[in-house]
Amino acid sequence: MKIFISALEYSANIHLSYLIQTLQKQYGECHFYGIFDSKILGFSSNFSPNEFRIMGFSGVLKLIPRFFKIKKELIALAKQCDIAIFMDSSSFNIPLLKALSRDLNKPYLVYYILPQVWAWKAYRAKILAQICDELWGILPFESAYYPKEANIAYVGHPLLDEIPFSREGRVDTGIIAFMPGSRISEIKVLFPIFKSLAKKLKALHKQPLLIAPKHFENCDLSKIYGNLEDFSIVYDTYEGLAKCEFAFVCSGTATLESTLLGIPTILAYKARKLDYWIAKSLVKLNYIGLANIFLEFFYFGSPKDNKTPQNFPIHPEFLQEEVNPNTLFWAMQNYDYSKFFAQKKILLEYLKNGSAKNCVQKIENFAKNMSKN
């Protein structure tokens, strides 16, 4: 079977690796084409995601010329395949999907890790329902935001395939994790504050640990983070979090990972002012941490209610000017651990299961139907 993949984000490639491992065990030999991280997946790609990774709304403009340059080549690659799987990165993937959907020789079109239509740009739900053959949701509430005719199913959350443990209570290791993001533009804004906080924690005989992205492993970290004399360093998220008693994390998948692992977490997010202003005007959410957002849907079915249950949110969030060493230090000293672990358990029950096996089952169903035809 020939499979086209468009996976730009680092986290999407990690999720994809578990899907492919499961697929190869159950289905056998497959051939993969498109955009994905060859280092993570272990086989060559036609394009590297590093060519397209950006952060923020203002960065999208930089991607447009490159996209149009390779669009024809991507379409030609996809048309040679039996099935095409698009993951996350909707600004990049939806235009490509639109072009493919109009072609008579198109492959079977699947979107896995759907755009967050429940947060902003709700019109994308109708578009995807029209141009995709299948939609694979990783959140239990997503289907409610798509038209009735959409072929959408909840397949489970990929992180539940990946997390190696989940703590049920507080531990004392003396190590505090810092995860300031995977994009250099995020790190430049947030990490100077984390460095000041780390000095406060060292005075309490805590050991700061920087969990750097895997793709930084062969980089000169001093050019990215500056002076790291106060930090020990690891490049594996789960290895690092397993050592820690607490974590300060930038927004994104990492906040959900740390929460599901049972690592008490504080979210700290500081972006460029223009990007934050645009996001705030477009995205109507009460929280930005995925764990908090998911449980808000669980409790209310919508993020737009102002009600708040007694044990909510799971972890504190600090944004923009709230992000300073004194505030973060105080929040850690006054953390509600019992609330965190109680809500973490509810979140695990809500998400139910991982996604890899269910995705592979859908691919196998497609292959069976294809062989009949």
Domain of residue 182, CATH code: 3.40.50.2000
CA distances from 57 to 29, 32, 54, 92, 215 (A): 39, 30, 9, 13, 23
Strands 83-87 and 31-35 come out as unpaired
Residue 373: what pLDDT? 67
* Tokens of residue 49, six digits: 């995601």
Pair (134, 67) in one structural domain = yes
| Angular region, 354: left φ>0, alpha ψ -120 to 50, beta rest | beta
Strands 207-211 and 134-137 come out as unpaired
Pair (110, 219) in one structural domain = no
Residue 305: what pLDDT? 53
* pLDDT average per 10 residues of sequence, the chain (373 residues): 93 94 87 94 91 57 72 93 96 93 95 94 96 97 95 97 96 98 89 98 97 91 96 96 98 90 97 79 84 89 58 88 97 96 95 96 92 73
The whole-angstrom separation of Cα 128 and Cα 108 is: 13
Closest listed residue to residue 158, CA positions, set 137, 143, 142, 141? 137
Residue 285: what pLDDT? 81
Residue 55: what pLDDT? 47
Q: What are the pLDDT digits (tens) for 313-357?
A: 899 999 999 999 999 999 999 999 999 999 999 999 999 999 999
Residue 309: what pLDDT? 55
Pair (269, 346) in one structural domain = yes
Pair (315, 190) in one structural domain = yes
* Tokens of residue 354, six digits: 């991982």
Residue 164 falls within a domain, yes or no? no
Q: What pTM was estimated for this model as a whole?
A: 0.87
Pair (299, 360) in one structural domain = no
Count of domains forming the chain? 2
Residue 252: what pLDDT? 73
Pair (71, 143) in one structural domain = yes
Mean pLDDT of all residues belonging to the chain: 91
Residue 26: what pLDDT? 84
Residue 234 falls within a domain, yes or no? yes
Pair (153, 42) in one structural domain = yes
Residue 170 falls within a domain, yes or no? no
Residue 10: what pLDDT? 83
